[in-house]
Amino acid sequence: MGQRSEIYVAYETRDGKKIVARYFGWNYGERMISRITHTAGWLQNKVAHDYTVKTRDLISIIETNFDFVDVQESADLVCYNNGMTSVNCFDDGNLNDGRGFLYVGHDGIKYCFTDNHNLVPLDCDGYMLFDTESCYPQYQWINEEYKKSDRMKDCMENIKWLAENATVMTQEELDEFINAKYDV
């Protein structure tokens, strides 16, 4: 199975901090950015209006790639880790397309990506540089034609949305995200 990645989504409601963590077998590059962006927008609306966030609904949003109009089933890392109450990021999670982290609270949206082994925050540009480095030259993020291709138009809009609506986590914020206690 290729393009293995993980997405961790934490959110805060009046009932406390909750987390959903998913393992994907087919999620990479612009698909990862799409999932983080659309999940952030959906969840921001729910949190801002104190709507109930149903876990199944949130998982459906995470698994849907609105830009490519497809759904990718994912595995539940919370159940796999026996109802984790904090994030369990293993050094070798058998990943080759990194991790995405998203936090949505009443004080706004924070996100970042990481590579496979280092839990160092990357913005969208840093993530795409990492994730396309071993691709064919025509699909590398440094290739300006690729960045301007029809395939990448939605990705660039997602990056713009994140830049306008969210902030990239600092190392301290990512560490706090990973070590926080969550209700499951």
pLDDT at residue 1 in the model: 44
The two three-digit tokens of residue 140, written as one number: 């590398």
pTM: 0.93
pLDDT given for residue 84 in this prediction: 56
Spatial separation of the C-alpha atoms in residues 152 and 29, rounded to whole Å: 10
Residues constituting the chain: 184
Taking 70 as the pLDDT cut, the residues of the chain under it are 1-2, 79-86, 88-93, 184
What is the predicted pLDDT for the residue at 117? 87
Distance between CA atoms of residues 159 and 123, nearest Å: 9
CA distance 20 to 154: 25
Token look-up 């925050």 returns 121
Domain positions in the chain? 5-177
pLDDT score for 93? 65
* Burial of residue 13 (number of CB atoms within 10 Å: 0-12, 13-18, 19+): middle
